[in-house]
Amino acid sequence: MENIRETLTRYMRKHNMNHSRFSELSGINTGTLSRIIKGSNPISVKQLESITQAMGLAEDSLFDAYVEECFAFAASIRRIRPFIIKCAELGRLDCIERIVPRLLDNLSYVPALFEVAEELFTRKHYQAAALLYDNVSKAEKFQHSERLAFCRYRLFLIELGTDLEKNYKAAMVFEDYVNRLHEADQLEALKRLIDVLVTVHKWKKVDELAEEMLRIAQIQYDLHAGGMEKKPERPIYFYILYALLIRSAVCEEYKDYEGALQYVSLYTAGGSWVREDDEEARFLINQFVEWGKANTYLYQLWSGESAALHNYADFVADHPEEIFVALCNIVQAANQFDFDIDGILERFKAYIPFQAIEGRYGQYSNSILGEKYAQFLSDLAVYKFNKSPENTDNAINLILEGLDFSVKINSVRNMVTCMTLFEQYRDFADQEAKGKFKKLASEVHRINAEKNVVPISFV
């Protein structure tokens, strides 16, 4: 590969250009340009940009050659850092992949590269940041350091997406590193892990992590009355309240509504012990009180109290961010207790499909809402079948929509539910619906084959 000096010299000869003329075009001092061409001076990223522009080339045309330039002189993070950032901005991850391992042959560069990774993460160049975090974590793998744990945490966050099974696998890889993080980071990391595990219904593990979050947060809140030197992403008392909320949700899943209500009484009592009295504290305390009211109606509903149905609906009508999740619960309760909810469905039809409305401290992540939507579609299909067995087209379409969405987010649990429901009601489906189902079922088999899982068989 031709180096940058050779490319520049050839260009100047081709265009009969002396140093002074190219200096005018590029804005690089004549003496500096001369030393660059002679190989006496390294080329900075700013000079690379000036040379590239003066030659009329695409912005990244000389990047491959500049990778070698980075190591032609003594490697300097002051030169390499801006180049890595520029590569990230232009999507040249291949150049970053070539630079970073060579730089890490000298482990003294680990701290500097970690800082560059953090800068890229802050700028939302996530894939470029991931390359650095991954290489730094490999360099630190025998150190059991906090930096290693934090790299794994960042990689976990970057991997999170709409695929629930991939999220779960990422969570399981990261979990072993949580206790190596700084206490301030542990709390948010535990919350993110919990949010992932909720989507795949790993309730035993959710409860364990919520208990650990509660333990750490309570200790830190008691120890640091004057505030922590390194602040967590949210106020410490938030994690105490959130852990109690999650433990209430676990009780709900196990149909222990009495236990769930006991936790409601705890996370709605923040006003009695939270020391802070600023706007944020007042907002959050009230937020948990409001969630407690909604969940009290919900647990009454799960207990079969029909009066709670409209109380619950009336309450969430004033809380748009809660309406879709409330609809999910209401449809499930209707199927369990044979409630008529046609009026409620009509009242909130604007929220079907769900609108991802988030409050200031939104309770539900997009992955949680996505999983709930997949389940909602199959639950609503069952309700439609039970309510109007003579008009099944809508219900069949809901099952197919639910299966399609479950495939998109890779929700195994909901794929199985939708496929089972379709088989149960296959006789009501027309040929077009059967064709759609066959196509979606093939996609499910493909996903399972990729995971080396015994495929679900529906003939």
Read off the tokens for 250: 């676990």
pLDDT at 357: 44
**Is residue 218 assigned to a domain?**
yes
The reply to whether 153 and 234 lie within a common domain is: no
Residue 61: how many CB atoms within 10 A of its CB? 13
129 and 49 within one domain:
no
Per the domain annotation, does 12 fall within a domain? yes
Are 213 and 290 members of one domain?
A: yes
Tokens of 255: 């149909």
Q: Are residues 251 and 289 in the same domain?
A: yes
CATH number of the domain where residue 252 is located: 1.25.40
Same domain membership, residue 287 and residue 203: yes
CA distance 360 to 24: 53
Q: Is residue 354 part of a domain?
A: no
pLDDT of residue 459: 31
Domain boundary among 135, 160, 181: 181
Q: Among residues 30, 56, 73, which one ends one of the domains?
A: 73
What φ, ψ does residue 60 adopt, rounded to 5°? -105, 15
Domain annotation covers residue 320: no
Two tokens at 175?
A: 């979990």
Copy the structure tokens of residue 90: 């232009």
pTM: 0.86
- For residue 235, cis peptide bond before it (omega within 30 degrees of 0): no
Q: Are 142 and 170 in contact (CB under 8 A)?
A: no
pLDDT of the residue at 389: 81
Tokens of 211: 């208990």
Residue 35 lies in a domain: yes
Phi, psi of 254 (to 5 degrees): -90, 10
In a domain? residue 99: yes
Contact 237, 272 (CB under 8 A): no
User: Could you give the CA distance from residue 208 to residue 217 in angstroms, rounded to a whole number?
Assistant: 14
pLDDT (0 to 100) of residue 243: 98
Q: What is the pLDDT of residue 138?
A: 94
Helices (H), 123-278: 126-139, 146-159, 164-175, 183-199, 203-223, 236-253, 257-267
- The last residue of one of the domains, among 181, 205, 231, is 181
Query: Residue 121 has what pLDDT?
Result: 98
* DSSP structural state of residue 227: -
Q: What is the CATH number of the domain that holds 12?
A: 1.10.260.40
All residue ranges of the chain with pLDDT < 70 are: 226-228, 354-365, 451-459
In a domain, 134, yes or no: yes
Q: How many domains does the chain have?
A: 3
Distance between CA atoms of 229 and 410, rounded to whole angstroms? 41
* CB-side neighbour CA atoms (13 Å) of 456: 19
Do 142 and 198 belong to one domain?
A: no
177 and 254 co-located in one domain: no
376 inside domain: no
Give the dihedral sign, CA 135/141/146/149: positive
pLDDT in the model for residue 365: 62
3-state DSSP: the chain helix, strand, coil percent, rounded to 5? 75, 0, 25
| Residue range(s) defining the domain that contains residue 141 | 80-181
The identity of residue 406, as a single letter, is S
Confidence (pLDDT) at 361: 42
CB 232 within 8 A of CB 217: no
204 plus 259 within the same structural domain: yes
228 and 175, same structural domain? no
Residues 22 and 45 in one domain: yes
Give the per-residue pLDDT at 354: 60
Percentage of residues in the chain having pLDDT higher than 70: 95
Instruction: Report the alpha-carbon distance of residue 50 to residue 44 in Å, rounded.
Output: 10
DSSP state of 348: T
Helix (H) or strand (E) holding 307: helix 307-317
